[in-house]
Structures are given as C-alpha cells and as structure tokens.
Amino acid sequence: MAIDIDKFVHDQLSLWPAVAAKYRALKSTSTRTMPFGGILVTLQSNPGRVPIFDHGCPLCEENYMEHQHTLPFEGRKGRKYNILVNRAPIFPNHLVITRDVHTPQTIWHRFPDMLDLAADLEGYVVFYNSPNSGTTVPQHAHFQACPKGYLPLERTAERLLRTLAAGESPDPSEIEYIDAVRDARLYHYKRFNRGIFMLRASTAKSMAKMFYRLLDCLNLVAEETEPRFNAFTYCSEGEYRAVVALRRESKPRCYFAEGDAHFAISPGAADMAGFVVVPEVKDFPRITPEVLRSIFDDVTLTQAQEEHLLWRLVRTQPRVEVGICRGPVIRFEIISDGTMNWSSKPSPSPPFSPNPPSSSMARKVKNASPAR
Ligand SMILES: [Zn+2]
C-alpha cells in the first residue's frame, strides 16, 4: 500500500512553523558539487543540522515536540513504527521512521521492515545507520528516508543496477559481480570508497538473505552487536535495490583535530552516499578533494579489510573426501585451510555387514559444509 507522504509532510509543516522554517531555509542553503572518486559529490552547508534534543530520548513518543504528527507503519511480526517529519532536515521531505517503543538500534530481524517501507514509500530511499556509524540516537531503533535523486551514490547504483537488470554488462572496473542467492545478486562497487556493495533482488526474502550473508562475512568490533555500516534501499523496475557502505570508524580524525585541521564532519548515511553535510559555515569553502579523501579513508575499510572481506565472500568451501572408515567414534577436525585430521577408534566387532555403513560418512560431509 503506497503512503501519501507528500500530504503528510504538507499537513505537518503547515502546523509547525519552527520546523517549516528549516525546510524553507533548505531551499536557499549553499551547495556545491565536486567530482570525487568516480561520482559527483554534493556538499551542503547546513548549520541548522544541529539536532534539537530537549530532554530524554528524542524518538520516544512522550518526548515528541508539541506539533509533531505521526503516521503509523506496521513492520513484520507486529513491529510498529511511527513515521515523522525530521526536525533537523538535510533533504526536502526528510523522514524519520521510528519504532513505537524504546529499543536499541539494530538491523537484525529489521531489514525486512526496511524493505517493506521502501516498497510503501514510493519515490523514496530508506536508509539506516548502524550504531557507531553516524546515528545520533543509537538507543532507539529507527530508519530515515528521503526522496530519490538526492544521494549521488543512489543515482550511481540506479544507473548500474538498471544496466545489469537489462542483461547488459557495465564497465568491470566500476562494478563486479560477487555472489548470488535465489533471486538476489550482490555486486562490489569499486569507486568512490572501499567497502561499497550494491544489491538487487526480485523478492524481499532473497534481498534479506543476500544482505545478511554480506553482514555475516564482516567482523564485529568487540562488544558491538552488529557490523558498522550504512545501508540504503529502494524499489525500482519491480526490484528491491540496495547499497551498503561498510565502515571502520564513526568519526574521522579531523573531527577531533584543532585549528585549521579541524572539520566538524561526522559522516552518517547521507555523507557515505556522497551527500556531505557541513554543519560549520566556516568549513564549507575549505573542503577540497584531499580533505574528503582523508575523511573517507578514516571511516571506511582499509584495503586489507576489503580484500579479506572479498575473499570471504567469494571463497568456495573445499570439498572434503575421505576413505571409508567405520568405528563407534569417529573424530575429525577441519583445519582453517580446509584440510582435515581424522581418527577412529577401532570398532569392537567389525564383521562384514551387507547393510550400508552407519551415517557417519554422510555426517562428516555434512559437517564439512561452511559454518556460518
Ligand atoms: Zn526512545
């Protein structure tokens, strides 16, 4: 069911002058574009971006501001969300989609909700910041959404995924096929930054499977609950499409530097998609491709991390073959390089049996399949 979001935003802003003023100010905000890493990055000077946190969790209903309206959205398994107009906008019609209960930000189990949202919010891209990857409210689960066409990486993804969906081959130096599950494909985008993946799928189920398979190949930072990344999903040409930008750090070194080396840039999903928000007016004219390179290098995967991830995604599990063995106990160990040590205790009574041996062989081969 498509949601009439334009009407919701219009009605909300007509009753909320303070926030309506911020949306009006967006129209006259300074922006400039910069060719960078194979895409055309947008820089936006946005001093109004500093969020207003009055008291408590800003995404809990009891702390909504006086004029805040909500539009209900139902996720899977009874999970309920409220769609809100973002009070610190980067885009026109910038939405926050927040769980109706105070529960930590996580993508486990909730990616299908994100896909359902993308299907319902026609003309929008739904995006997600994992904890430690640009969200200011990691304590309360939420997504965001903006109209299609603003995020440079989304425009690039759409151009490439359209080409692939048409059965044509884009430039292999730009995008490379990595893996597939039923009805879903995973590609590595090789420009802009390291650790960028693009996905397309004909069903939400397959898209979720491919997405979680990618996350499964990532390492967690100690004591964190999910990998660091930003994700974007939308629907186009009857497919679900997504971009995932993997992260190493939450903030770049320049954020903590002093003097001229300081830039108050803390990349969230928009920045990782090439729409760089510059909250400090004095920083805006000082941003050069070199500054951007340093910022993105600090927060994205290292080359070694990317290579290791690609290896994990494409490696094929070695097939293990052993001679026929039997015994009451068969022990084996698979070494990390795929070789296997095994031993069996001699069977106390090994007479010839015309029946097939016990299922120990089958179990061994089964156990040799990749561990998730
Ligand atoms: Zn909350």
C-alpha of residue 103 to centroid of ligand 1, in Å: 7
Tell me what the mean pLDDT of segment 280-306 comes to. Answer: 97
* Amino acid 354: pLDDT: 41
Quote the pTM value: 0.85
Neighbours of ion ligand 1 (CB under 5 A): 57, 59-60, 102, 140
- Residue 66 pLDDT level (bands cut at 50, 70, 90): confident
- Residue 56 pLDDT level (bands cut at 50, 70, 90): confident
C-alpha of residue 98 to centroid of ligand 1, in Å: 9
C-alpha of residue 60 to centroid of ligand 1, in Å: 4
C-alpha of residue 137 to centroid of ligand 1, in Å: 8
Q: Are strands 124-129 and 95-99 parallel, antiparallel or unpaired?
A: unpaired
- Residue 329 pLDDT level (bands cut at 50, 70, 90): confident
C-alpha of residue 135 to centroid of ligand 1, in Å: 13
Beta strands in 182-268 (DSSP E): 184-189, 196-201, 229-236, 239-246
Instruction: Decide: 243 and 154 in contact? Cβ < 8 Å.
Output: yes
C-alpha of residue 101 to centroid of ligand 1, in Å: 7
Instruction: Decide: 42 and 31 in contact? Cβ < 8 Å.
Output: yes
Q: What domains does the chain contain, in order, with CATH numbers?
A: 5-157+183-313 (3.30.428.70), 330-367 (no CATH)
Q: Are strands 39-45 and 275-278 parallel, antiparallel or unpaired?
A: parallel
Edge-to-edge strands, sheet with 142-147: 71-74, 80-85, 95-99, 142-147, 124-129, 229-236, 239-246, 196-201, 184-189, 175-181
Using CA atoms, how far apart are residues 218 and 103, in angstroms rounded to an integer? 24
pLDDT digits (tens, 9 = 90+) for 156-190: 999 999 999 999 999 999 999 999 999 999 999 99
Looking at the chain, the number of H-run helices and the number of E-run strands are 10, 15
Is the confidence at residue 361, as pLDDT, over 70? no
C-alpha of residue 102 to centroid of ligand 1, in Å: 4
Task: Please enumerate in sequence order all residues whose Cβ is within 8 A of that of 316, keeping only pairs 6 or more positions apart, or say none.
Answer: none
Q: Are strands 239-246 and 275-278 parallel, antiparallel or unpaired?
A: unpaired
